[in-house]
Amino acid sequence: MLNLRKKILVAIDGSPQSDKAAEEAIRMAVSNRSHFKSCVYAMLVLPNSPTSTYTDFVPTAPLTESERWDDLRRRIFYVVEKCALENDVPLEMIVEYGEPGDKLIEFAKREQTDVIVIGSSGKGFIQRRLKGSVSHHVASSAPCSVYIVRG
């Protein structure tokens, strides 16, 4: 089998589970012993902007346009940036708005990623029963392999 450059997509949200997933994604990229370096895409999916109500006269700006965004972005992407830098792995950071599962699947199809790495806490029984977990949705709908890292 020809071992070429791999495209690895990792879901990031600042939680301990996503930090573990980020470390695992970098480990996967480093373990590819090809002449071509694997690339890691770290994706943060923010919820859609809240809809305005009749009490809102001025809609709020998206989080990425707020004054605290730079500090928040640094904290959320800290682990994946640090690991990628230490291991000399190319890293691209992406911020999207929408439903996390849908955005991860959409990106994986568009960029033809080889694997999606996502963290799962195994918690949230009620929410999982009502709308399903993000990791389950991604695992059942992704166009590529999905590696679920337990927290």
* pLDDT > 60? residue 11: yes
Classify domain 7-150 at the CATH topology level. Rossmann fold (3.40.50)
Q: Give tens-digit pLDDT for 77-111.
A: 999 999 999 999 999 999 999 999 999 999 999 99
Could you tell me the residue ranges of all domains in the chain? Answer: 7-150
Q: Residue 4's pLDDT is what?
A: 66
Q: Which of 71-75, 105-109, 120-124, 130-134 has the highest mean pLDDT?
A: 105-109
* pLDDT > 60? residue 8: yes
User: Would you call 94 helix, strand, or coil by DSSP?
Assistant: strand
Q: Which residue in the block uniquely carries the two structure tokens 């999905």?
A: 146
